[in-house]
Amino acid sequence: PQVDKVRVERSGNQRWLVVAAPPEKLWDTVKDFWQETGFIINVERPEAGVMETDWAENRANLPQTGLRKLIGKALDSVYDTGMRDMFRTRVEKTSNGTEVYISHRGMEEVYTSTNKDSTTWQPRPADPELEAEMLRRLMVSLGTDKKAADAAMQNAANKLKGAEIRGEQLVVNDSMENTWRRVGLSLDRAGLSITDRNLSQRVYYVTPNPDDRGLFKKSFGKLKETYQVRFTSISANQTQVSFADKNGQPYSDQGLARVLKNLKNSLQ
């Protein structure tokens, strides 16, 4: 569908779309967008507002010189970049419409021996610019003129509001609504799969992604375990974020400090 009003919001290296349409009107369009871009939809949870693609090879890094440049895609199957990408889209309902977030996760194949005869896959950092590019393309799919989408993405005002770690909690200098959405995007980037949410109680239910081999595997020992990310309003412009186990008991572990630091950096 053509959507008349789509704008870009930005906070630090996080960007998202604000759309004057309800989530149910956008869902199929977002799904079509990813499929037309060449991705397979691996997870689709409308009730949680989450859509996730399968891992796909990053073809952008293939060499564009010599023989391959001449014959183009005919030799694509011969090359392997050793890099994989996947994207998660979160669709959040607001009082005036919908906010759409796209988060990126990457993996790369690295050698595990000096003889270079064995490899393993390990996470690589999320790419905010790649997220922005996908948001720009989604804007065009929603009916925005290409030049207008380019300008909107480049000229979005940076409304950065920081965060700090206090003990075993993260305190974000932002409203409850904004913190809820910004931290949700940071969780997506970091490899915690949001399996459900309770909007009235402000709780995300998350599970460490089984593909992750880095931060959260080291921080949360049980990859299939469910954890709670709880939000508490301190004031109109400050929100506390804390972790709990599946029963709602405060989570305290030596790995928690790494998680909080990762989330804090993602909010900068």
Reported as a single tens digit per residue, the pLDDT across 62-117 is: 344 444 344 444 444 444 567 888 899 999 888 888 999 999 988 888 888 777 77
Mean pLDDT of 10-31: 91
Secondary structure element (H or E) that encloses residue 223, with its range: none
Diameter over CA atoms, the chain: 62
**pLDDT value at residue 80:** 54
118: three-class secondary structure by DSSP = coil
Burial class (CB in 10 A: 0-12, 13-18, 19+), 185: buried
199: three-class secondary structure by DSSP = coil
**pLDDT value at residue 44:** 92
Over the chain, what is the mean pLDDT?
82
155-210 per-position pLDDT tens digit: 988 887 889 999 899 999 999 988 998 898 888 887 777 888 888 899 999 887 66
Question: Other CB atoms closer than 10 Å to residue 88's CB: what's the count?
Answer: 23
DSSP letter, residue 250: B
Mean pLDDT of 37-61: 84
Confidence tier at 213 by pLDDT (50, 70, 90): very low
pTM for this model (two decimals): 0.76
> Cα–Cα distance between 264 and 174 in angstroms, integer?
13
Buried b (16+ CB within 10 A) or exposed e, 67-82: ebeeeeeeeeeeeeee
pLDDT over 50 (residue 119)? yes
pLDDT over 50 (residue 211)? yes
